[in-house]
Amino acid sequence: MQIVHTIDELRAQLKAFRRPAFVPTMGNLHEGHIALVKQARPLGDVTVSSIFVNRLQFAPHEDFDSYPRTLGADAERLEAAGCDVVFAPREKDLYPEAQTFKVHPATDLSDILEGHFRPGFFIGVSTVVMKLFSCVFAGMPAGVAAFGKKDYQQVMVVRRMVQQFALPIEILAGETQRAGDGLALSSRNSYLAPAEREEAVHLSQALRALGEAARSASDLPALEAQAMHALARRGWKPDYLTVRRRADLMPPRHGQLAAEPLVVLGAAKLGNTRLIDNLEI
């Protein structure tokens, strides 16, 4: 496995290949990332993973500076998973000048849920993903890029971006990987104190309970509010627990709860750690 830091080095490593399988990450890897690498690897002729903590998707009050940087351990895990090339650019390598050209996704998808509580987040995500795609797939006839379903809205934003820009890239959405008690694996789980880690599973439990109750609900907004209040009583600070249509993340139409493919999504802060999760129903 090769570790490269500049775009020129990356392209030199990839020039002999035709179909990269690419897994973009911010590092501090867990089994969810490794599962994506293993799923993507058979779909390409070279497996690439990037490790880059992207300043553009962090608000000033968020954890950009404290986000764990664990390149050595991450590289060992990626090599064991069969990754061929790790692209670990420094900020000056990926953004040699201020990134004034940015990708602004459609507001109907990017300004709701995560985009509402983290303004500008999906602009930062879309911009860095587009730039990483240009680094990895330049001159390639086709490729595959893998993203985890835990970031459900992010996958939808990236898919729509790829479609609208006619990029020859297949987007693979990997299932959320969970700990034995049901907690969705996340790099930010490492922030949790032991007591918070025990409590953290209640987010996934709340989503499951909401999903089970939603199909027969006569007043879905009231049910969602009840779920948020129940989580808040446990000491959480929920941003949203909501049932949405999988197709566009809009609220389900009246009378269509039993007919439409739905997803339950939640985001809540436990102590100083903000966790997200979702469950397709």
Encode pLDDT of 234-271 as tens digits. Answer: 999 999 999 999 999 999 987 677 778 999 999 999 99
Residue 224 lies in a domain: yes
CB count, 10 Å around CB of 139?
Answer: 8
At 133-152, the pLDDT tens digits run 999 999 999 999 999 999 99
Question: What is the reported pLDDT for 254?
Answer: 74
Count up the domains in the chain and report the number.
2
CB count, 10 Å around CB of 104?
Answer: 11
Partners of 159 in beta bridges: none
User: CA 267, CA 200: separation in Å to the nearest integer?
Assistant: 12
Which CATH number fits the domain that encloses residue 235? 3.30.1300.10
202: annotated active-site residue: no
Residue 8 lies in a domain: yes
Packed helices 202-214 and 220-233: angle between N→C axes, nearest 10 degrees: 160
For residues 129 and 191, state if they share a domain: no
Joined together, the tokens standing for residue 250 give: 């809009």
Residue 156 lies in a domain: yes
Residue 180 lies in a domain: no
Residues in the chain with pLDDT values less than 50:
none
Which domain range does residue 97 map to?
2-174
Of the candidates 5, 33, 202, 229, the residue annotated as catalytic is 33
Question: What is the reported pLDDT for 215?
Answer: 82
Q: Among 5, 8, 2, 1, which residue's Cα sits nearest to residue 138? A: 8
For residues 91 and 162, state if they share a domain: yes
Domain boundary at 119, 139, 174, which? 174
Residue 246 lies in a domain: yes
For residues 144 and 215, state if they share a domain: no
Q: Among 77, 54, 47, 1, which residue's Cα sits nearest to residue 145? A: 47
For residues 268 and 148, state if they share a domain: no
For residues 38 and 149, state if they share a domain: yes
For residues 152 and 39, state if they share a domain: yes
For residues 244 and 122, state if they share a domain: no
Q: What angle do CA 214, 279, 183 make, to 5 degrees?
A: 125
49 in Cβ contact with 37 (< 8 Å):
yes
Question: What is the reported pLDDT for 213?
Answer: 93
